[in-house]
Amino acid sequence: MERTTSRETIIEYLPIIKKIQASLEIRLLKHPSLEGSDKLPFYGLWGGHDPVPVIEAWQIIGGWVGEKGVRVENTWPSFHLVKTDSATDWWEVHKLIAKHIRKQDPVEAGREKAIRRDSPIEIALTLEGDLFRGKHKYSLREPRRVSLIRLLSGAGGSFVKTNELQLLVGNASADALRGMIHAINRGARIHLVIKYNVIEGRSRSGYRINPKYKLGRKK
């Protein structure tokens, strides 16, 4: 019989689930080579946690990621995310976990409703490649990242095909392009103090500037 978990139980374990999701994101950003791995270990995150809530949190994640061809392997005090489908993309798994967190977290759900009601958030781009939101600043620094933002900003909200972007930013590989996009999104979220990714992707469509934001030139 399939195990079901109430929303109240999920909310109780969300702090641990968020910690796991953040660890997955940081490791994929720092070590792009992990994207080709079939098994990702997790350990040393639990501190003085009682094993029961940690195991419960992982069981919840296991229920979420099964649809992406991933299972959870419990070898307490460590755990592993294991691909059951070699074609699985770890970043897609990360996005799925984040999606479930937003859906279950009352605070996140309230923020999403507020953002849907609001106008797009304005972000300014300088000629030097700096992004500004009010007093907050994020320097892209790397020329290819600057080119990428400018190309997407000039697309008028339309998706740009992945292979086109690869050529336009200097014949970058698909992995290199994906790494640039994840680095930009993470840096922008931290330094501009924003909730959502600046660049969003869609399978077969490519990438575009997230319509929640309006990019313009800084005067």
- Phi, psi at 161, each rounded to 5°: -60, 145
Q: How many structural domains are present in the chain?
A: 2
For residue range 166-211, what is the model confidence (pLDDT) as tens digits? 888 888 888 999 999 999 999 999 999 998 999 999 888 899 999 9
Percent of the chain with pLDDT over 70: 87
Same-domain check for residues 105 and 140: no
Domain range for 20: 7-113
Q: Flag whether 38 is in a domain.
A: yes
Domain annotation covers residue 30: yes
| Residue 47: per-residue pLDDT | 61
2 lies in some domain:
no
Q: How far is CA 142 from CA 87, 124, 130, 169, in A?
A: 30, 18, 11, 11
Q: What is the mean pLDDT of the chain?
A: 85
Q: Across residues 122-128, what is the average pLDDT?
A: 89
One domain, residues 140 and 43: no
pLDDT in tens, 83-97: 998 889 998 999 899
158 in any annotated domain: yes
